[in-house]
C-alpha cells in the first residue's frame, strides 16, 4: 500500500495491516499470520514519521545442522522518511548525527508500507541462523546431524604446527 505525503493529515493516520502480499514469499516461508500496526505523522511538507510494530513468524534453515526451525518476528521500529534534497545531499550524509540514523531518504513523497514492513522483517532476522544455542551441527566426515546422536567417525587429531616449539620449550 502506497500513501502520498499529501494524503497524511497533520494529526496522523493509523494503519493496521493483516495483509501478507508484501511478504517476500519466495525467499522466506511465513509460519504465522502477519500483524502490523503503523502510525504515520507528517512533520512538514517533506518529512513523515513512522512508528510501528510487526509480528509474524518465518521458517529458517539452521546454518549448522540444516534443519528447518521457526523464528518469531517481533519488531518495534521508528523511522523518519524524508524527501532527498536536490543539492548537497552527499554532504548531509557525511554530517549525520545519532538522531539521523533512522532517517530514510526518498526520491518521491510516497510512503510504501509494504516496503517498510519488508525491510523491517529482513532487519529483524539474525545474522547467523542457528536453531538453538546448543546446536552441534553436522559431522564433517559422514554428514550425520550430531543433535540426533553421535556418529562412529574417528575424530582426526591434527598435530599443531607449534608442537615442535613446545618440545623446545620443555628442554
**d(Cα 97, Cα 111) in Å, to the nearest integer?**
23
pLDDT tens sequence across 89-148: 454 454 544 455 578 888 888 889 999 999 999 999 999 999 999 999 998 888 888 888
Q: Is residue 82 part of a domain?
A: yes
Quote the number of domains for the chain: 1
Q: Is residue 28 part of a domain?
A: yes
Q: Which three cell numbers stand for residue 117?
A: 514492513
The secondary structure of residue 5, as a DSSP letter, is G
Against a cut of 0.85, is the pTM above it? no
Q: Is residue 24 part of a domain?
A: yes
**Which domain range does residue 27 map to?**
2-124
Q: Is residue 134 part of a domain?
A: no
Q: Is residue 62 part of a domain?
A: yes
Q: What's the rounded mean pLDDT across residues 76-96?
A: 68
The label of the residue with cell 532527498 reads 84
With H, G, I as helix, E, B as strand and everything else as coil, classify residue 94. helix
Q: Is residue 169 part of a domain?
A: no
Q: Is residue 63 part of a domain?
A: yes
Q: Is residue 92 part of a domain?
A: yes
**d(Cα 155, Cα 141) in Å, to the nearest integer?**
9
Q: Of 103, 116, 119, which Cα lies nearest the Cα of 46? A: 103
Per-residue model confidence (pLDDT) at position 73: 94
Strands 13-17, 2-4: parallel, antiparallel or unpaired by DSSP?
Answer: unpaired
Q: Do 17 and 34 contact (CB within 8 A), yes or no?
A: yes
**d(Cα 24, Cα 152) in Å, to the nearest integer?**
41
Amino acid at each position: 500500500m502506497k500513501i502520498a505525503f499529501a494524503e497524511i493529515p497533520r494529526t496522523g493516520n493509523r494503519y493496521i495491516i493483516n495483509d501478507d502480499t508484501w511478504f517476500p514469499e519466495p525467499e522466506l516461508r511465513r509460519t504465522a499470520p502477519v500483524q502490523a500496526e503503523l502510525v504515520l505523522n507528517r512533520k512538514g511538507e517533506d518529512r513523515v514519521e513512522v512508528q510501528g510494530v510487526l509480528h509474524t513468524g518465518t521458517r529458517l534453515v539452521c546454518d549448522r545442522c540444516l534443519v528447518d526451525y521457526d523464528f518469531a518476528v517481533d519488531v518495534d521500529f521508528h523511522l523518519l522518511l524524508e524527501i532527498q534534497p536536490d543539492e548537497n545531499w552527499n554532504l548531509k550524509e557525511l554530517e549525520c548525527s545519532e538522531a539521523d540514523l533512522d532517517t530514510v531518504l526518498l526520491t518521491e513523497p510516497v510512503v510504501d508500507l509494504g516496503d517498510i514492513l519488508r525491510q523491517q522483517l529482513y532487519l529483524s532476522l539474525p545474522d547467523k541462523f542457528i536453531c538453538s544455542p546448543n546446536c552441534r551441527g553436522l559431522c564433517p566426515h559422514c554428514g550425520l546431524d550430531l543433535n540426533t546422536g553421535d556418529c562412529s567417525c574417528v575424530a582426526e587429531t591434527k598435530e599443531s604446527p607449534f608442537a615442535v616449539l613446545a618440545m623446545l620449550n620443555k628442554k
